[in-house]
Structure 1
Amino acid sequence: MRILLLGGTGAMGVHLAMLLSKQGNDVFVTTRKDRMNNAGITYLRGNAHDPLFIEEILREGWDAIVDFMVYHTDEFARRVDLLLRYTNQYVYLSSARIFANEDAYITERSPRLLDITSDTDYLKTDEYALTKALQENLLRASGYKNWTIVRPYITFSDIRLQLGVYEKEQWLYRALQGRAIVFSKDIASHYTTLTYGEDVAQGIAGLIGNAMALGEDFNIVTAESLTWQEVLDLYVRTIEECAGKRPPVVYTDTCLNLLFKRTQYQVKYCRLFDRKFDNRKILSAVPDLRFSDVRISLQRCLCALINSRRFKTIGWRNEALLDRVSVEFTPIREVESFKLYMVYLLFRELPLECVKYVINHR
């Protein structure tokens, strides 16, 4: 099959491209950067948000398209017909964040935040969980039946590892620099579901060309769940084993992201929910799918990250806020420029109400 991955250069996309290529498919991946073609994998350089670029590619016709792109809903509405018209199967990457709080295990039929929340301020936003649900609605109303909706939840790999709302650049980087990991008690007690990215890729691969997948939605998640405190404890032990020093942990009562308009909703409508999943539907459609042991996979990926020290750009405003909590200072030698260090010092020393005003009104 000829398979197109839109935006498929992230951790999950890389795994999926390799799996599909090994199965003998011709895989094409859009990318903004120059990349070397591999056996069975061809990179198409361009911006997949550019209508001219994407229309030219789509008109070639595809057996399957897997869409990793993040769209504004109006943008997706303009292109959904095009995406569905030029492929036999369109796989849309949604998110299990769309679901409301559930005491029971979450299934594909669980209520969605978009449909039941009474928070009018939240509904006015384009927050990720709402956007994904709205775009699912567009697929269902399209008149086509050649779509498949897949919903990962929180995925991890040897290049991405989260702790609550924090990416590795906001917790692991600090730990390896000898500063405290900052975490919050309100999130620590809640259950989460972390799924190894390669397992999700295998689930997606099993749905491509699968007649059972057309016009259907699947939560691709492990059935194993941990509290965030258990995740943090595993991280701390692993850092001590792999890096030789146990990092300190400083707790706040509530998550710092609740202070800011743009970051509060991920906390309120995701991390403060208990997230446990019933994954029988994906296992029925892809019977040979096996999910990795979460603790073993987390430890392996964390050790790999400790050894590689591969971090994206550090956000020095955020680092300043974390240092305020832990009563620590980042030395100037860590920061790329004097200008950025001045930004760090400003956010480190300004009264917190001033920091909140600056961030909430930028």
Structure 2
Amino acid sequence: MKILVLGGTGAMGTHLLNLLGNTDNEIVVTSRIKRQSSKNIKYLVGNAKDDVLLKEILQEHWDVIIDFMLYTTREFTERVKFFLDFASQYIFLSSARVYADSKEPIKETSPRLLDTSMDEEFLSTDEYSLAKARQENILKSTGKRNWTIIRPYITYSSQRLQLGVMEKESWLYRALNHRTIVFSKDINSRLTTMTYGLNVAKGIVSIIGNYDALGEIFHITSDKSLRWSDVLEIYLNGLEEYLGFRPKVMLDNINNLHTSHLAEYQTKYDRLFDRSFDNSKISKYVNIEDFLTAEEGLKKCLEEFLKRPIFKSIDWRAEALRDRKTKDFTNLVEIRGIKQKIKYLLYRLFIK
């Protein structure tokens, strides 16, 4: 098969390409940075949201297009026809964040936020969970069925280790620099589901080219939930083994946390929900009993990251506000650039 992967270099995509690299399929992957092509995988440098590049790629028909790109609803509306016209199967990566709160394990037919929320301010936005749900609706309204919707939920890898709404740059970076981790006591008590990127990739591979999966929706998640306090404990145990001491943690009120980490809707309409999933639908295609548990996977990925820790840019305003709360003070040598040093000092000492 000829398979086109749009933006497949993240927590799920990297594992997916490793799996596809061991097949006889012809794989083409778009990437913003130059990467070495190998075996049956060819990388095309460019932004897959660029119309010129996209039209060039879609001059030929693809057996499967797997789309990891993030679109606004308007952007997706303008492109969806091309995807469906030039692919026998278009696999759209949505998100299990589309689901509303549920007291029962979530199924693919469970209510979505877009359909049930009464929050007019929230509904007036194109926030991630709403955008994904609207884009699902657009696919369904095309009159075609050569699409498959995948809804993963909080996927992790050695390069993506989340704690609540925080990426590793907002909590792990602090721990490795001997500063107190600031987390939400409200989120800490909630149930969540975290899924290893490799497990999601296995689920995607199982439905590639599968006629029965056309016009269907699948969430691919772990079927075991744990509390965020359990996730934090896994991280702390791994860090204690690595550092020789246990990092300090401050559990703060969710409203105070928003001053240093702006993720209001993600918090309110996801992380403060208790999340558990019924995986019976995807289990017809892939053996979910082989999925790595969160306990095993998070420990493994943390250990891999610590062998070669690489962080993206640090938000020094947020770090300053956290330091003010915990009474920590970052050595200015650690902060690159005079403007970032000034920003840190202003928010650490003066601006509330």
TM-score bracket, normalised by the shorter chain, equals: over 0.9
Structure 2: distance between partners of 1:86 and 1:7: 17
Percent identity between matched residues is 50
Contact 2:35 2:43 in 1 (8 A): yes
Structure 2: distance between partners of 1:265 and 1:349: 29
Q: 1:12-54: CA deviations, max 9, x gaps? A: 1111112112122111100111111011110011111111110
Instruction: Name the structure 1 match of 2:203.
Output: 203
Letter in 1 for 2:64: A
Letter in 1 for 2:77: A
Q: 1:121-165: CA deviations, max 9, x gaps? A: 001111100000000000000111000000000001111100001
Deviates more, 1:250-259 or 1:46-55: 250-259
Q: 1:254-309: CA deviations, max 9, x gaps? A: 25454489521111001000000111100013347721121011111111112211
**What secondary structure is seen at the aligned counterpart in 2 of 1:35?**
coil
Instruction: Name the structure 1 match of 2:332.
Output: 332
Contact 1:257 1:263 in 2 (8 A): no
Instruction: Name the structure 2 match of 1:357.
Output: none
Structure 1: distance between partners of 2:196 and 2:219: 14
Contact 1:255 1:267 in 2 (8 A): no
Q: How does 1:156-167 map to 2 (within 5 A)?
A: 156-167=156-167
Deviation, 1:196, is: 0.3
Instruction: Name the structure 1 match of 2:253.
Output: 253
Q: How does 1:125-140 map to 2 (within 5 A)?
A: 125-140=125-140
Structure 1: distance between partners of 2:329 and 2:36: 41
Structure 2: distance between partners of 1:291 and 1:256: 36
Task: Give the aligned CA root-mean-square deviation in angstroms.
Answer: 1.4
Structure 1: distance between partners of 2:309 and 2:261: 31
Matched, 1:285 2:276: no
Q: How does 1:153-232 map to 2 (within 5 A)?
A: 153-232=153-232
Instruction: Name the structure 2 match of 1:360.
Output: none
Taking a change above 3 Å as real, the CA distance of residues 328 and 259 of structure 1, as seen in their structure-2 partners, is closer
Letter in 2 for 1:227: R
Matched, 1:81 2:89: no
Instruction: Name the structure 1 match of 2:104.
Output: 104
Taking a change above 3 Å as real, the CA distance of residues 255 and 171 of structure 1, as seen in their structure-2 partners, is farther
Letter in 2 for 1:220: I
Runs of 4+ in 1 over 3 A off after TM superposition: 255-262
Gaps of at least 5 residues in structure 1 are 353-362
**What secondary structure is seen at the aligned counterpart in 2 of 1:280?**
coil
Letter in 2 for 1:239: L
Structure 2: distance between partners of 1:315 and 1:118: 33
Deviation, 1:351, is: 3.9
Gaps of at least 5 residues in structure 2 are none
Taking a change above 3 Å as real, the CA distance of residues 114 and 282 of structure 1, as seen in their structure-2 partners, is same
Taking a change above 3 Å as real, the CA distance of residues 184 and 262 of structure 1, as seen in their structure-2 partners, is closer
Q: 1:305-339: CA deviations, max 9, x gaps? A: 12211111111111112112211111101111121
Deviation, 1:344, is: 1.0
Instruction: Name the structure 2 match of 1:341.
Output: 341
Structure 1: distance between partners of 2:327 and 2:197: 35
Matched, 1:267 2:258: no
Structure 2: distance between partners of 1:288 and 1:179: 38
Letter in 2 for 1:19: L
Contact 2:114 2:133 in 1 (8 A): yes
Instruction: Name the structure 1 match of 2:306.
Output: 306
Letter in 2 for 1:16: L
Contact 2:27 2:40 in 1 (8 A): yes
Taking a change above 3 Å as real, the CA distance of residues 246 and 261 of structure 1, as seen in their structure-2 partners, is closer
Deviates more, 1:247-256 or 1:45-54: 247-256
Structure 2: distance between partners of 1:245 and 1:7: 39
Structure 1: distance between partners of 2:38 and 2:244: 38
Matched, 1:65 2:65: yes
Instruction: Give the paired residue count.
Output: 352
Structure 2: distance between partners of 1:141 and 1:84: 12
Contact 1:152 1:200 in 2 (8 A): yes
Deviation, 1:350, is: 3.2
Structure 2: distance between partners of 1:309 and 1:33: 20
Contact 1:219 1:279 in 2 (8 A): yes
Taking a change above 3 Å as real, the CA distance of residues 295 and 328 of structure 1, as seen in their structure-2 partners, is same
Instruction: Name the structure 1 match of 2:49.
Output: 49
Alignment TM-score, normalising by the size of structure 2: 0.97
Contact 2:165 2:263 in 1 (8 A): no
Taking a change above 3 Å as real, the CA distance of residues 256 and 53 of structure 1, as seen in their structure-2 partners, is farther
Contact 1:196 1:292 in 2 (8 A): yes
Instruction: Name the structure 2 match of 1:356.
Output: none
**What secondary structure is seen at the aligned counterpart in 1 of 2:135?**
helix
Taking a change above 3 Å as real, the CA distance of residues 148 and 243 of structure 1, as seen in their structure-2 partners, is same
Structure 2: distance between partners of 1:2 and 1:151: 23
Structure 2: distance between partners of 1:110 and 1:75: 27
Structure 1: distance between partners of 2:287 and 2:325: 47
Contact 1:203 1:289 in 2 (8 A): no
